[in-house]
Amino acid sequence: MFYHDKKLQYKVRVDKPNPAFAKLLQQAIGGIEGEIRVCLQYMFQAWGARGPEKYRDMLLETGTEEMAHIEMLATAVALNLEGATNDLKDKVAGENPIVGSIMGGMDPRHVLSSGMAAMAVDSNGVPFNGSWVVGTGNLAADMHANVMAESSGRVLATRLWESTDDKGMKDMLAFLIARDTMHQNQWLAVLEELGGLENNHPIPNSFPQSEEHKEFSYAFISTNIEKPEPPLGRWTRGRSIDGKGEFKFVHAQPHGEVPKLGAPDPKGHAQKEQMMDGSGGGIMKKVKEKLT
């Protein structure tokens, strides 16, 4: 159950409305690096959380905070669009306002679909995609996914900060960048609390490594046909990061056989030549007959 406060989590001020910047801000709302993604990711992880309640509570609280960030950004989009209203009205007599908006870098759907408001889309107008939300039921795997989400979100926020000279927008983005800093650190803190790299990995640590083919567990397989010497990389030699093996560098080689598939199912309606036998012999027989 959720409650709301009428006030924003942090002030949102636009000194000079800019419809083109409103379009860029949409990426921080509905893009793959955006706030809808992290909000739903943390919520679904929390709603399915099993184990210590403190992790569920932390996810719920952070997911709820991300709702506030969506609200801030949606407000920023609306305020940046307010400057477009009169301009569009002036164009009604004779000019096409949509063409003018496109040429000015504005998303025409801000006029056509939302009435000068934010939408659940990215900066190209592509709707938010729920398949971006990661919730595995494995706490360590989810924390790594969350660090990645906050990292890419912070990269986006810093690029948006660089893209505007509006002091109000820079101030709002500086707040969001700071929150991304905290959220990266809190997910990493959970991983540290769970035992760090050696205890957590390989994920899931509940699966016995005795059941995997351990000769492949710490081998970097090079598929370079030129068979180069091992590079001086941390991943090619020495103790593995999880402390449970030794890295090695090997050149790829096949360990299986040439795949042989059976004949097609007649009900699948492949060509007759395909169904004569599974080896392709029927086709080759016909080719030989034509040649002779």
Q: 105 pLDDT band (50/70/90 cuts)?
A: confident
The pLDDT, as a whole number, for residue 106 is: 83
Q: Which fold, 19-197?
A: Ferritin (1.20.1260)
Tell me the pLDDT band of 234, cut-offs 50, 70 and 90.
very high
User: Who has greater pLDDT, 103 or 37?
Assistant: 37
What's the mean pLDDT when you consider all of the chain?
91
pLDDT of 87 strictly over 70: no
Interhelix angle for 53-81 vs 35-47, to 10°? 160
CA distance 79 to 206: 50
Q: Name the pLDDT band for 241 (thresholds 50, 70, 90).
A: very high
Cα(272)–Cα(263) distance, rounded to whole angstroms? Answer: 11
Give φ, ψ of 5 to 5 degrees.
Answer: -115, 140
How far apart CA 223 and CA 190 sit, in angstroms, is: 36
Output phi, psi for 238, to 5 deg.
85, -175
Q: Which residue has the tokens 């599974």?
A: 278
8 within 8 A of 75, measured Cβ to Cβ: yes
Taking the C-alpha atoms of residue 180 and residue 192, their distance in angstroms, rounded to an integer, is 18
**Distance (Å, whole) CA 72 – CA 291:** 74
pLDDT, tens digit, for every residue of 121-180? 999 999 999 999 999 999 999 999 999 999 999 999 999 999 999 999 999 999 999 999
- Mean pLDDT value of segment 74-81: 97
Q: How far apart are CA 180 and CA 245, in angstroms?
A: 34
Residue 93's pLDDT is 38
Sheet (strand 246-251) strand order: 219-222, 246-251, 238-239
Report the distance separating Cα 32 and Cα 26, nearest Å: 11
Over the range 193-225, which residues count as b (16 or more CB within 10 Å of their CB) and which as e? eeeeeeebbbbebeeeeeeeeeeeebeeebeee
CA distances to 7, 158, 159 from 177, in Å: 20, 7, 10
What are the DSSP calls for 138-150, one per residue? -HHHHHHHHHHHH
Q: What is the pLDDT of residues 244-290, one digit of tens each?
A: 999 999 999 999 999 999 889 989 999 988 887 645 555 556 656 66
Give the C-alpha separation, 136 to 48, whole Å: 9
Residue ranges, CATH 1.20.1260.10, the chain: 19-197
Q: Which residue has the higher pLDDT, 49 or 94?
A: 49
Cβ–Cβ < 8 Å for 191, 241: no
**The pLDDT of residue 208 is above 50:** yes
Residue 42 has pLDDT above 70, yes or no: yes
Per-residue pLDDT at 111: 84
pLDDT category of residue 92 using cuts at 50, 70 and 90: very low
What length does the chain have?
292
Q: What is the pLDDT of residue 89?
A: 45
| Bridge partners, 219 (sequence order) | 248
Helix (H) or strand (E) holding 38: helix 35-47
Reduce the DSSP state of residue 33 to 3 states and report it: coil
Would you say residue 215 has pLDDT above 50? yes
Of 58-72, 99-113, 121-135, 236-250, least confident by mean pLDDT is 99-113
Q: What is the pLDDT of residue 60?
A: 98
Position of tokens 């949509």? 98
> What is the rounded CA–CA span in Å between residue 107 and residue 95?
17
Percent of the chain with pLDDT over 70: 87
